[in-house]
Structure 1
Amino acid sequence: MTLPGDLAVGALHRPTAKGAPHPVRVVSSVISRTVLGAMAGLLVWTHVPVVALGWTAGVVQSGSMRPAIAPGDVVLYQPPARDRTPAVGQIVLVEDPTRPGRLLTHRVHQVLPNNDLITKGDANSTPDSAPVRPAALKGVARLHVPWIGLPVQLWRAKQPVPEAITLLGLAILLALAALPLHSRSRSRSQHK
């Protein structure tokens, strides 16, 4: 009796019809090209609003907005309307009032009478301690693209292992996508 696992192993060693591409090459090529195509499409999708509409894109670095937004996700922010204060519940990009020079993606928790914002990360138990001045508001979240910024986040970690894994993964995908479907020996024999 042949077990299902034996059938799969046997399929790898069985010769294919003359001129037909090997199934493993076809599957690996299709998968890698699909992944690369999806990545390219998501990258284009995240850059069109930046170029065409003047929006801002950012890769989320911390887990303070989990589960809605995870580290490695890309968020696109529309420039804020200066005559309108963001509503409670909207996700905003602000200059971090406690760390000058850093940006913060949090949800509006409260709008004070002077239009200052109290923000809070979804994963945080308490609101942020310092209010955000209206001038520190840099954008209102309009589009969220999961995972596409993960390679950037791993690269920014400045640790050799994540950098190496990112480069290795990309190299493997590119190599699999570039594999010819037919082996060279088979192609040469067909042209003789």
Structure 2
Amino acid sequence: MTEAPPTSRRDDRERRRASPERSLVSYLGSAAMAVILVVILAIAAAAIVVPAVTGSTALTVLTSSMTPNLPPGTLIVVRPTEPDDIHPGDIVTYQLRSNEPEVVTHRVIQRTALADGQLIFITQGDANPTPDETPVQEVQIRGTLWYAVPYLGWVSVWLTGPWKVWAIPLAAFLLFGYAFILVLSHVREKRRS
């Protein structure tokens, strides 16, 4: 009786690498990582790139006055809009007091032209039972709602708070570490083959 020659470890590795199960898992893992990367890039584009390129402003909804359409934590992008182009039904972001940073985002329910031609707007939060007390003047308007991304605002608040000091460097470190692991894995595969 003759014995089959022993196989080398390299042959075993090659056989395992060529197995269909391993290939499928490898392809699924790569596809999942590609999808995650595309989603991250899309979110970054929606939250950072598009507003910067168009002169718009990204803000976070912090109260429930616009629920259910804009619940707390929603990232909204507000683009500059001429007051003449604002009509009832539009959602506007305006300063509570001129030249102060605090803003509110509510729906316009009425638009009125004064005798001098200046427009004033009556606004109301979708969840509020009554209109806002003070009419909004043209100079207070920062723009109209362009688009909104649910929950992304909480990430923005988290990254601009006290966590920003270490969260961004940590995220960068993790991304570079992952890229390094991918490159190292690719180099190892090349050497094996």
CA distance 1:121–1:156, shift in 2 (3 Å): farther
CA distance 1:97–1:155, shift in 2 (3 Å): same
Residue 37 of structure 1 is matched in structure 2 by: 38
**Post-superposition offset of 1:30:** 3.4
Cα distance in 2 for partners of 1:97, 1:182 equals: 56
Residue 10 of structure 2 is matched in structure 1 by: none
**Post-superposition offset of 1:87:** 1.1
Which structure: greater helix fraction? 2
**Post-superposition offset of 1:151:** 1.4
Cα distance in 2 for partners of 1:182, 1:189 equals: 11
Per-residue Cα deviation, 1:121-148 (whole angstroms, up to 9, x for no partner): 2222322222211110110122223333
**Post-superposition offset of 1:102:** 0.4
**Post-superposition offset of 1:182:** 9.7
- Root-mean-square deviation (CA), in Å? 4.0
**Post-superposition offset of 1:116:** 1.7
Cα distance in 1 for partners of 2:26, 2:176 equals: 13
Residue 110 of structure 1 is matched in structure 2 by: 110
Residue 69 of structure 2 is matched in structure 1 by: 68
**Post-superposition offset of 1:86:** 1.6
CA distance 1:33–1:73, shift in 2 (3 Å): farther
CA distance 1:60–1:175, shift in 2 (3 Å): farther
CA distance 1:172–1:181, shift in 2 (3 Å): same
1:139-150 mapped onto 2 (5 Å cutoff) = 139-150=143-154
Flag the structure with more relative contact order, 1 or 2, with Cα contacts below 8 A and sequence separation at least 6.
1
**Residue 138 in 1 paired to residue 142 in 2?**
yes
Verify the 8 A CA contact 2:17 2:23 in the aligned structure 1. no
Residue 96 of structure 1 is matched in structure 2 by: 96
Instruction: Work out which of the two has the higher radius of gyration on C-alpha atoms and give 1 or 2.
Output: 2
Residue 121 of structure 1 is matched in structure 2 by: 125
SS of structure 2 residue aligned to 1:43? helix
Structure 1: any 5+ residue segments left out of the alignment?
1-15
**Post-superposition offset of 1:72:** 3.3
1:10-89 mapped onto 2 (5 Å cutoff) = 17-19=16-18, 21=22, 27-46=28-47, 47-48=49-50, 50-51=52-53, 53-82=54-83, 84=84, 86-89=86-89
Give the partner amino acid of 1:40: L
| TM, length-normalised to structure 1 | 0.64
SS of structure 2 residue aligned to 1:18? helix
Per-residue Cα deviation, 1:100-125 (whole angstroms, up to 9, x for no partner): 42011111122245332222222223
Task: Count how many residue pairs are aligned between Structure 1 and Structure 2.
Answer: 173
Query: Which consecutive segments of 4 or more residues in structure 1 shift more than 4 A?
Result: 19-29, 162-179, 181-184
Cα distance in 2 for partners of 1:177, 1:69 equals: 36
